[in-house]
C-alpha cells in the first residue's frame, strides 16, 4: 500500500469520525423546533399550514407581528419552565400547556383591544 493511500484512508476516517461526533448537533437542530410545535400550529398556522390566516394573525393584524409574538412566547415559556434555551423544552412535559396559556392570554387581550378600538 502506498503512503498516499494510507494518508487518504486516514483523512477519510477522520472525516467520518468528525461527522459522527457532529450527529448530536444535527439531532438537536432537528428536534428543537418540535418542542412547541403543537402550540405553534394551533395558534400560528391555519388549516392549510399558512401563517397569514392564523388565529394570531387575525388577532394582531399582520403576519410579521405574529412572528414577533411567537418569539416572545417561546422565550416566556423558557422562563416559566426554568430553562435557558428552547431546545431544552423537549424535556419539559408541560411546555406546550404553558405556551398555549400564554397564547390564549395574548389572543384574548388582542381581541379585547381590537373590540375596544372600534368603540373609540
List pLDDT tens digits, range 61-85: 888 888 899 999 999 999 999 999 8
List pLDDT tens digits, range 15-25: 777 777 665 55
**How much is the pTM?**
0.69
Burial class (CB in 10 A: 0-12, 13-18, 19+), 2: exposed
Neighbours of 57 (CB within 10 A): 22
Q: Break the chain into its structural domains and give their ranges.
A: 36-119
Amino acid at each position: 500500500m502506498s503512503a498516499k493511500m494510507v494518508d487518504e484512508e486516514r483523512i477519510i476516517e477522520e472525516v467520518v469520525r468528525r461527522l459522527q461526533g457532529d450527529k448530536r448537533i444535527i439531532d438537536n437542530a432537528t428536534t428543537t423546533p418540535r418542542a412547541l410545535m403543537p402550540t405553534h400550529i394551533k395558534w400560528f398556522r391555519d388549516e392549510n399550514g399558512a401563517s397569514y390566516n392564523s388565529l394570531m394573525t387575525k388577532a394582531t393584524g399582520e403576519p410579521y407581528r405574529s412572528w414577533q409574538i411567537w418569539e416572545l412566547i417561546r422565550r416566556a415559556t423558557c422562563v416559566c419552565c426554568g430553562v435557558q434555551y428552547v431546545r431544552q423544552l423537549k424535556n419539559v412535559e408541560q411546555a406546550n400547556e404553558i405556551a398555549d396559556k400564554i397564547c390564549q392570554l395574548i389572543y384574548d387581550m388582542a381581541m379585547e383591544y381590537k373590540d375596544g378600538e372600534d368603540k373609540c
